[in-house]
Amino acid sequence: MTRKQRRFTLIGVSLTVLAIAVGLVLTALEDSIVFFYSPSDVVEKQIKPGERFRLGGLVVDGSVKRGKGTKVDFAITDTDRTTSVRFDGVLPDLFREGQGVITEGQLDGNGVFMADNVLAKHDETYMPREVADALKKKGVWQGQSEPAAKQ
């Protein structure tokens, strides 16, 4: 093999690996990303049943109802609109009424969000960023109050 051929082999293999990688990334970006919507987005963007997305907002006070077994119903609001959510499983430790939450799943035919995942955030004072932004847009977010002692 001459020097030139060797170089061609090397460049050829590199380009092949690179092309495969780019191809995979592009396909995956097409298929496997999940959008985040607030309850208002769900109405405004007319999300169709069956489309997978993340729904975030505040858990409506008094909306959490336990069903049979581990089933649980609750509602998520951005203070403007509200979406009902159904979930079967164990809720994360920080799930509480009045607090921010993100769920992942899809709408059924009746506009109920069938969540298969309720995301846990691990800090008490921490509001999921998407939720905070969505609430800010609605003008109801006051921001996290910094401790008064900070000077």
Partner 1 sequence: MIIEIGHFALILAFLAAIIQTLLPLLGTYRRDNVLMAVAVPAALTQFILLTLSFLALMYAFVISDFSVELVWKNSHSAKPVLYKISGVWGNHEGSMVLWVLILALFGTLVALFGRNLPPGLKANALAVQGSISVAFLFFILATSNPFTRLDPAPIDGRGLNPILQDPALAFHPPFLYAGYVGFSMAFSFAVAALIEGRLDAAWARWVRPWTLVAWMCLTIGISMGSWWAYYELGWGGWWFWDPVENASFMPWLAGTALLHSALVMEKRDALKIWTVLLAILTFSLSLLGTFLVRSGVLTSVHAFATDPERGVFILGIMMFFIGGSLALYAWRAPQLRQGGLFAPISREGSLVLNNLILTSAAACVLVGTLYPLVLESLTGEKISVGAPFFNMTFGPIMLPLLVAAPFGPLLAWKRGDIHAAVQRLYWAAGLSFVAIVASFALVERGPWLAPFGIGLGLWIVGGALSEIIFRTKLFRAPIDETWRRARGLPRSAYGTCFAHLGLGLSVLGIVATSAWQSEKVVAMKPGQAENIAGYRVIFGGVAPRSGPNYKELVGLFTVTKGGELVTRLNPSKRNFTVQKQVTTEAGIYNSVLGDLYVVLGDKLDAGGYSVRVYFNPLVRLIWIGTLVMFFGGFLSLTDRRLRVGAPKRAHAAAHPAPAE
* Interacting residues of 122 by C-beta distance below 8 A, sequence separation 6+: 94
Least spacing, CB of residue 79 vs partner 1, in Å: 18
User: Would you say 28 or 140 has its CB closer to partner 1?
Assistant: 28
Closest C-alpha to 31, from 14, 11, 52, 17: 52
User: Would you say 4 or 48 has its CB closer to partner 1?
Assistant: 4
Q: SS3 letters for 104-120? A: EEEECCCCCEEEEEEEC
- Residue 111 tokens read as 């506009």
**Cβ 103 vs Cβ 85: under 8 Å:** yes
Residue 38's CB is within 10 A of a number of other CB atoms, namely 26
User: Would you say 10 or 140 has its CB closer to partner 1?
Assistant: 10
User: Would you say 55 or 110 has its CB closer to partner 1?
Assistant: 55
Torsion of CA 24, 27, 29, 33, to 10 degrees: -120
Least spacing, CB of residue 124 vs partner 1, in Å: 5
Least spacing, CB of residue 121 vs partner 1, in Å: 8
Q: What is the largest CA-CA distance in the chain?
A: 77
Residues within the interface to partner 1 (CB under 8 A) = 1, 3, 6, 9-10, 13-14, 17-18, 20-21, 24-25, 27-29, 31-36, 54, 66, 68-70, 88-91, 93-94, 120-124, 128-130, 133, 147, 149-151
User: Would you say 80 or 104 has its CB closer to partner 1?
Assistant: 104
Least spacing, CB of residue 1 vs partner 1, in Å: 6
